[in-house]
Amino acid sequence: MENNQLISLEGLNALICGSTSGMGRAAAHEFASSGASVTLFARNEKKLKETLASLDNSLKQNHTYIIGDFNEPDHIKKIIHEHINDKNIYHILINNSGGPKGGPISDADTSEFIKSFNRHLICNHVITQALLEGMRSFNYGRIINIISTSVKQPIEGLGVSNTIRGAVASWSKTLSFEVARHGITVNNLLPGFTDTDRLSSLIQARAKTNNKSEEAIVDAMKDQIPIGRFAKPEEIAKVLAFLASPAAGYINGVNLAVDGGRLSCM
């Protein structure tokens, strides 16, 4: 069947983490409408079922979901290995999970770093390890980590997040050297301010901390963006779809900012 999408993922299997809200949910819809068979991975079964029911299935793809709590890496490891051992193999992995809570790094308890390190880097690692054999068998793999522009420029008030995102970026770059010969690329997408529940919570926290209105915080944030607005999750999803496609086969080991031009670095 002809696919009218600019990017075709027809015939590819994609595992999308954190896929019941925000950028993860938008990615699930974009990938499904581009022809991929999508497996949703998140902890809330009710939201997983709702998202699954909303996915495009015009090409008779095999969409499904698995349940796991990314605050429990050992649980994630068990779940993903059981899933792979049940003859589920993937061409595409989108590593994505909700960010650590905000606050100055000087105030952060060490437990916050450990929890966030496990949630992001360790879970990314155990899922990736589980999927690599299948990607090698296809001689095709796309591992894309949704992290943050803080990799290039730390964000004020997100001390723990800045730290952990940098660790994920270094892990990703190292992995990209090791797996490329098997047709597998590893890239990081760095979204700027994107209109999600996560951003709304950060705006509320900043407003409270600075004793300002949420409208004032939003205006100040948009003033930092040359385009003058927040990104839509669907815009991030379209970039993910490109990076996951055969067309992006020579893009490897990069940190791609999609931020409306906000970053001041090159």
Q: How far is CA 33 from CA 6, 40, 65, 241, in A?
A: 11, 14, 17, 10
Backbone angles phi, psi at 55, to 5 degrees: -75, 145
Q: How far is CA 122 from CA 118, 126, 132, in A?
A: 5, 6, 15
* Amino acid 99: pLDDT: 83
The answer to whether the CB of 189 falls within 8 A of the CB of 259 is no
For residue 230, how many other CB atoms are within 10 A of its CB?
Answer: 18
Q: Which amino acid is at 238?
A: K
Domains of the chain in sequence order = 13-193+232-258 (3.40.50.720)
Question: From CA 120, how far away is CA 142, in angstroms rounded?
Answer: 18
pLDDT in tens, the chain (266 residues): 344 457 899 999 999 999 999 999 999 999 999 999 999 999 999 999 999 999 999 999 999 999 999 999 999 999 999 999 999 999 999 999 988 888 899 999 999 999 999 999 999 999 999 999 999 999 999 999 999 999 999 998 899 999 999 999 999 999 999 999 999 999 999 999 999 988 998 899 889 989 999 999 999 999 999 999 999 999 999 999 999 999 999 999 999 999 999 999 98
CA nearest neighbour of 127 among 184, 63, 181, 74: 74
Question: From CA 232, how far away is CA 101, in angstroms rounded?
Answer: 22
Q: Where are the beta strands (DSSP E) in the chain?
A: 13-17, 37-42, 64-67, 92-95, 141-146, 184-191, 255-258
Q: What is the CA radius of gyration of the chain?
A: 18
DSSP labels for 190-235?
Answer: EE-SBSSHHHHHHHHHHHHHHT--HHHHHHHHHHT-TT-SPBPHHH
Question: From CA 100, how far away is CA 55, in angstroms rounded?
Answer: 28
Q: Which amino acid is at 13?
A: N
Looking at residue 187, what DSSP letter applies? E
* Amino acid 248: pLDDT: 98
